[in-house]
Amino acid sequence: MAASVRPQYRRILGQVAVGRCNGQVSSSRSGVVKNVSLRTHFSSSRSNFADWRCRSRSSGFLSWNRWRLEKGRYNEGHNQQSTVIDRRGTVGLCPSIRLFSSSHNGDSNSGDNGDYPQDIRVLPRRLVKRLKKQGISEAEFLTKINANSKSSDMFPPPSETDFRSAAPVVDSKEELESLLKLTSVVPKFVSEADSFPSDTAKYQDWKKQNSERTSKSVPKVSPSTTSIVLFPGQGSQFIGMSKQLLHFPGVHDLFEEASSLLGYDLLEICLAGPKSELDKTIYCQPAVMITSLAAIEKLREEHPKAVENCVATAGFSVGEFSALVFSGVISFPDAVKLVKVRAEAMQRASETVSSGMLTVFLAHDSDLKGAMRMAKEYCQTRRGINEPVCNVANFLFPECKVIAGHAEALEFISTNAKEFRILRTKRLPVSGAFHTQLMASARRPLEQALQGMKIGKPKLPIYSNVTGQPYHAKTNFAHMLGEQLVKPVRWEQTMHALYQRPQGSEFPHTYEVGPGKQMGTLLKQVNLQAHKQYHDVRV
């Protein structure tokens, strides 16, 4: 019984097979076999079949695993034998197994009547796909392969419409030996450039571009010659800030321009207070941002290389607007307008409900999640607050977080800190629960103010408070700065992203530009080695 073979197994690479089919012999060249029907003198016993399979594997001619015949069995109805010649010149006998069917759908013809179909020779699929990409037909390729073959007279190249070629009749051993001599000639292959010109061209272009890229590559710069600028946020303000900056050029102009846009004397509030006014969000946020940008002028005068060689920047909360101005994303007047809108919207949201922020210092076994959950239940059951808020607002370092929410929830955690193994708590001098859902009402005014402003591309990487990763060129800043109002500040994650280095590497110089030294304190807790290169710009 003949077996049908899948099309992908219709080849035996680098071998020559010749079979006798009713007085005709079909041959294959260039690694393609066609019209082969093999007969055997072996018996149909299972042991002989296993012996034949082992011989086939050892000779490397007809591998059972390669062909995976679906229903390959002995065809005991045929007593003819077919001679098989491998590339070593060995003449042997093989079982009668139909290698090809008349069609690809698995139909096979009986071998009793001698009607063995003329099958189309099939090239390897990988080669066919590659030829198709190059626009070369199979006929053209086979013609090139057989161009200088000595056997081209005996085996003419197939046409594009019909790959079937007639094969001579072999009746004697002498004719088989002559056929072996002719077909064993190694064909002369064309060069790679002639066969696949586009691949060669692509490689040459890649090589040229790579060499140009290497020649124009910027030499490595030592991290110790670079700098990172950090901007503080709300909560770092104090009476008298910016006093040490007034004698630097451009500082007075910054405060005058900001005061004209804000509608009040910002410098007077920074220098004289009172503190109760300075701590208000509406005054505190513009004061911290303008003071930080004024400190940049001092840094530019005292350490110009620190500004020129800056490789990254980040700002904490409202300090992110200072970073956006420093990197050229928004202009100084637009930043003042945005911070004014932001501060006023957040102040209104803070006055709507009594809220605040609380710093908590934790131990390894502190149950901060349990404390926040119990605080929400307390507000809901004892104080009658619907949908109470008490969440982490700032990730500072592993042992310290800032939580924000309703004032009653914060008071509950401060009073029962020992019950949850919280080491210490400290109330922040702010008037609202920033970076929580209590600021949702302030999001829309800020996004609307950003819609009409010109946003430029960052001149250096700016790290986002929301993601802890740098902004990319196509960032929707209106959306991200709106998200910053209601999402926690991931400052600990930002520090890890900024200062991640292989062990033993040098760190850049870090400059905290603005009031206070809070950013340096946080950096020391997160990365002590990076803190060794820390500097603060006194304001």
The residues carrying an active-site annotation are: 317, 435
* Per-state percent for the chain, helix, strand, coil, to nearest 5: 45, 15, 45
Q: How many helices (H) and strands (E) does the chain have?
A: 21, 14
Nearest to 464 by CA among 439, 442, 483, 436: 483
CB 482 within 8 A of CB 443: yes
- Contacts (Cβ under 8 Å, ≥6 apart) of 523: 230, 495, 499, 510, 530, 531, 534
Tokens representing residue 365 in the block: 């076994």
* Distance in angstroms (rounded) separating the CA atoms of residues 256 and 336: 12
CB 440 within 8 A of CB 344: no
Residue at token pair 């292959």: 189
Nearest to 116 by CA among 187, 36, 41: 36
Q: Which long-range contacts (CB under 8 A, 24 or more apart) does 443-449 make?
A: 443/345, 443/482, 443/485, 443/486, 444/482, 445/341, 445/342, 445/344, 445/345, 446/338, 446/341, 446/342, 446/345, 446/481, 446/482, 446/485, 447/478, 447/479, 447/481, 447/482, 449/337, 449/338, 449/341
* Distance in angstroms (rounded) separating the CA atoms of residues 230 and 512: 5
Q: Read out DSSP for 246-287?
A: TTSTTHHHHHHHHHHHHTS-HHHHHHH--HHHHTSHHHHHHH
* SS3 at position 385: coil
Residue at token pair 């710069």: 221
CB 301 within 8 A of CB 319: no
CB 12 within 8 A of CB 121: no
Tokens representing residue 71 in the block: 């229903």
The neighbour count for residue 538, using CB atoms within 10 Å, is: 11
CB 390 within 8 A of CB 370: no
* Distance in angstroms (rounded) separating the CA atoms of residues 337 and 327: 18
Q: What is the 3-state secondary structure (H, E, C) of 436-448?
A: CHHHHHHHHHHHH
* Distance in angstroms (rounded) separating the CA atoms of residues 149 and 313: 70
* Distance in angstroms (rounded) separating the CA atoms of residues 484 and 175: 88
